[in-house]
Amino acid sequence: MAPPLTSAPDVSRKARPTDFRFRCITCGGVTDDAAQNFRCTNCGDLLEITYPRWKETKPNADQLKSTWKQRRLSLDSVDLSGVWRFRELLPEVSDEAVITLREGNTPLYDLPHCARITGVPRLFAKHQGLNPTGSFKDAGMTVAATFARLAGFRWVACASTGNTSASMAAYAARGGLRSLVLVPEGKISWSKLSQALDYGAVTCQLRTDFDGCLKLLQELVLRAPVYQLNSINPFRLEGQKTLALELLEQLDWQPPDHIIVPGGNLGNSSAIGKALLEMHALGLISRLPRLSVIQAEGANALVRTLREADGKRLVSVHAETRATAIRIGNPASWKKAVHVLAATGGACEQVTEIEIAQAKAEIGAEGIGCEPASAVTLAGLKKLLQQGFVKPQESVVLVLTGNLLKDPDFTMEFHRGALLKDTGDQDASAALKPLRRPPIVLDATLDAVIRTLEQAEKS
């Protein structure tokens, strides 16, 4: 019989000598042990992972690049992971301890269609939606789930807008752990919810929003021996750093001018920014790309935090957007995001629901597609171009965070013309019309199909 839910193991216990430490992002306090809620015991702010070993012996950039390249020929399970292949920049762990689904290894696509639309010839997409569970969360989850099991936890838990829960449930199942999911009732897509169910999570639909779920989880981890796998957990962000490492490797270590990422709880932008700063400090890249964050207008806490409070205090919002993955009003990692935006010279912008829908259809027309939250990147790029922040001759990478199949309702409503029809914005609706490809119901005759083909040829 399974042991009862009584005492909690130590979240930071490591079955090996310490090779990393936790540092508070506000007071700078450094410890070997993190509290159950991954918050500083002095000031309550978030922790980040640092590597004192790099101070003593700085890793050699050329050697790292060559080791990582070599590993692409290996058949070892850890080398086949696009996360653990970069393990010199991650907390150390034995190969056998790793829980992996061969995450990472995601393609970098060029976007000729969107390049024409925007007038930016060197436009690329790093498609994290091609991870095992269909989102960028897998890159962080392999690391954090591994450390959860190492620390002796039996239960892992998260609050989620859908993708974190799908990913956590999968990695927990692979690692023989139980998982508890807290999601806002009626506010996440069925695709994501169904993943969590199939991977065996105990799934609670709470009558609140994401922010309410996360608040409750933070209290829960102090009362019950569950390991929290939200991006407050700094191990998650270490794994998500590898998105940037893999990207730069794909670009032969020539930094793009801009990287543009969607912002929700702001873990991913923080992780990418941390990776860029570390790569720069270690000499892996010679200059920093500008990292910009784009939010939905209805969930624009970071935009307002920067505009109204100069990044000094969080301006929370009541979040509302059809891009449900980023329907977050009280982002946990806002301070980390403010820091990396300033350090890389990036911008923060917001885009409307119509702009998101249009950009999503344009990325779909490339033959790769993405979920609505990912499409804010293209919509945001258009704004940054108008403002002159991005110049047409510069190179730009959009981080597509989730797979098209994550939110089929949005896509179907868009093509059927039912999406956002209550906005009353006739002009915007007209702009979307040419992008719509509604399904056509016909009699099953050759004539009917040929007529449809001829009509389509003319349009």
Q: How far is the CB of 168 from ligand F0G (least distance, A)?
A: 9
305 lies in the binding site for ligand F0G (CB under 6 A): no
**Interface of this chain with ligand F0G, residues 363 to 382, rule: CB under 6 A:** 371, 373-374
Which among 6-14, 86-94, 154-162, 310-318 is the span making contact with ligand F0G, rule CB under 6 A?
A: 154-162
239 lies in the binding site for ligand F0G (CB under 6 A): no
353 lies in the binding site for ligand F0G (CB under 6 A): no
In this chain, which of 256, 264, 289, 346 binds ligand F0G, going by CB under 6 A?
Answer: 264
Q: How far is the CB of 160 from ligand F0G (least distance, A)?
A: 3
If one counts every other C-beta atom within 10 angstroms of the C-beta of residue 2, the result is: 7
Q: How far is the CB of 62 from ligand F0G (least distance, A)?
A: 32
**Interface of this chain with ligand F0G, residues 265 to 304, rule: CB under 6 A:** 265-269
Q: How far is the CB of 322 from ligand F0G (least distance, A)?
A: 13
- By CB under 6 A, the count of residues binding ligand F0G is 22
Report helix, strand or coil for 158: strand
Angle, CA 420 vertex, CA 378 and CA 434 arms, to 5°? 60
Report yes or no: 412 and 437 within 8 Å, Cβ to Cβ.
no
Separation between Cα atoms, residue 110 and residue 367, nearest integer Å: 11
For residue 115, report the phi and psi dihedrals to the nearest 5 degrees: -65, -40
324 lies in the binding site for ligand F0G (CB under 6 A): no
106 lies in the binding site for ligand F0G (CB under 6 A): no
Q: How far is the CB of 307 from ligand F0G (least distance, A)?
A: 18
Report yes or no: 47 and 23 within 8 Å, Cβ to Cβ.
yes
In this chain, which of 81, 131, 146, 163 binds ligand F0G, going by CB under 6 A?
Answer: 163
Q: Which two tokens stand for residue 346?
A: 């990036």
Separation between Cα atoms, residue 224 and residue 9, nearest integer Å: 10
325 lies in the binding site for ligand F0G (CB under 6 A): yes
Which among 47-55, 171-179, 257-265, 342-350 is the span making contact with ligand F0G, rule CB under 6 A?
A: 257-265
If one counts every other C-beta atom within 10 angstroms of the C-beta of residue 101, the result is: 18
Name 141's Cβ contacts closer than 8 Å, sequence gap at least 6.
103, 164, 167, 168, 170, 171, 229, 236, 239
Q: How far is the CB of 100 from ligand F0G (least distance, A)?
A: 20
Question: What is the pairing mode between strands 290-296 and 226-228?
Answer: unpaired
Nearer to ligand F0G, 162 or 329 (CB): 162
Which among 118-126, 171-179, 260-268, 306-314 is the span making contact with ligand F0G, rule CB under 6 A?
A: 260-268
If one counts every other C-beta atom within 10 angstroms of the C-beta of residue 457, the result is: 7
228 lies in the binding site for ligand F0G (CB under 6 A): no
How far is CA 29 from each of CA 26, 66, 91, 236, 369, rounded to the nearest angstrom? Answer: 8, 35, 19, 20, 43
Listing DSSP states for 289-357 in one string gives PEEEEEEEGGG-HHHHHHHHHTTSS--------S-GGG--SS-TTHHHHHHHHHHHT--EEEE-HHHHH
Q: How far is the CB of 266 from ligand F0G (least distance, A)?
A: 5
Which among 46-54, 83-91, 263-271, 347-355 is the span making contact with ligand F0G, rule CB under 6 A?
A: 263-271
In this chain, which of 326, 347, 375, 378 binds ligand F0G, going by CB under 6 A?
Answer: 326
Binding site for ligand F0G (CB under 6 A): 135, 160-164, 231, 262-269, 325-326, 371, 373-374, 401-402
